[in-house]
Amino acid sequence: MILLLAFGVLPILIALPVSATDMNLAGLADWSRIDFVGLENYRELFADRAFWQALTNTGIFALLGVPTVIVVSFVVALLLHRSENRFFRTLRAFYFAPAVTAIVAVSLVWGYLLNTQFGLVNHLLSTVGLPPAQWLSDPVLVKLSVALVAVWRGTGLNIIIFLAALKGIPREYLEAAELDGASGLRKIVSIVIPLLRFAFFFVAVTTVIAWLQFFDEPFVLTKGGPLGESTSVSLFLYQEGFSASRFGYASAGTLVLFLIIAGVTLLQLRARRSDADR
């Protein structure tokens, strides 16, 4: 409990004062070298083009990733739910597997698959007569590649959640609808989706948060390159904070990110409430 407070709540309280200083590596060793700079960090942050680029990229990633992850996980969960036999249970493991594997290993494997010189993906493209693509160095493609890997990794957990929720739907509802002559699609739209409203809500909130903090994939696949084209906000903060050791500056950005995430989450909660009132 104390640990959780120490590493969960306390850091935010620390970030607040630090964000108003010019703390850096020298300041870490000798506290007297830290100067109070007030809102200077924030002013610089909002004038920093790299920060805006990272913010835009994060928005693009979230717009690409969130709907894809939700739709893919739901459809796969629906299909997996059709049967309980051994074959389907084995298949489940395949879909979950990417979710539990280490990001470092995952990125190396994908980096190898997407390699421009000897990667498999480009080879497959060439066999169907398409030109090779610069998966990780083209400013537009790199966003797609990074998001693709994240989608691949992100669906497993959500499939588990949807499956657990699907199991909770009483069979009688579906049988009653069948007696009334509802088609398969109709049942999904009118019964399954409304009943899974909470699961959808939960998945949506966690997925949005996850994509706003998007970090691992660009960090290990591209280091945010080329020229910051795949840098997310989290990655930007990491680079400023730990590579450039500008703790104060990065803390300011950290709080901005926190406010964005808190804001978006609150919006979703509000939307959910008005939805429930209806």
Partner 1 sequence: MRIASPAIVGGVLGAGALLTAFPFLWMIFGSVKPRSESVEYPPRLLPQAPTLENFTQLFGQLDFGRYLVNTIAVVLISMAGVVFMAMAGYGFAKFRFRGRGFLFFLVLATMMIPVQVTMIPTYLLLNGLKLTNTLVGIAIPGLVSGFGVFLLRQFMSAVPTEMVEAARIDGAGEARIFWSVVLPLARPILAVQIVLTFIGAWNSFLWPLIIAGDDRLYTLSVAVSLLNRQIATSPSLQMAGSTLMVVPVLIVFVVFQRHIVRGFTLSGLK
Q: Which stretch binds partner 1 (CB under 8 A): 32-40, 50-58, 139-147, 157-165?
A: 157-165
| Binder of partner 1 out of 67, 139, 168, 263 (CB under 8 A) | 168
Structure tokens at 196: 């899974």
Q: Which of residues 134-153 bind partner 1 (CB under 8 A)?
A: 152
| Binder of partner 1 out of 33, 67, 242, 244 (CB under 8 A) | 242
Q: For residue 112, state whether it binds partner 1 (rule: CB under 8 A).
A: yes
* Mask for 92-111, x = binds partner 1 (CB under 8 A): xxxxxxx-xxxxxxxxxxxx
CB of 202 to partner 1, least distance (A): 6
CB of 43 to partner 1, least distance (A): 19
Q: For residue 198, state whether it binds partner 1 (rule: CB under 8 A).
A: yes
Q: For residue 117, state whether it binds partner 1 (rule: CB under 8 A).
A: yes
CB of 65 to partner 1, least distance (A): 15
Half-sphere exposure of 263 (CA within 13 A, CB side): 7
- Interaxial angle between packed helices 49-81 and 141-167, expressed in degrees from 0 to 180 and rounded to the nearest 10: 40
Q: For residue 247, state whether it binds partner 1 (rule: CB under 8 A).
A: yes
Q: Which of residues 22-51 bind partner 1 (CB under 8 A)?
A: 28
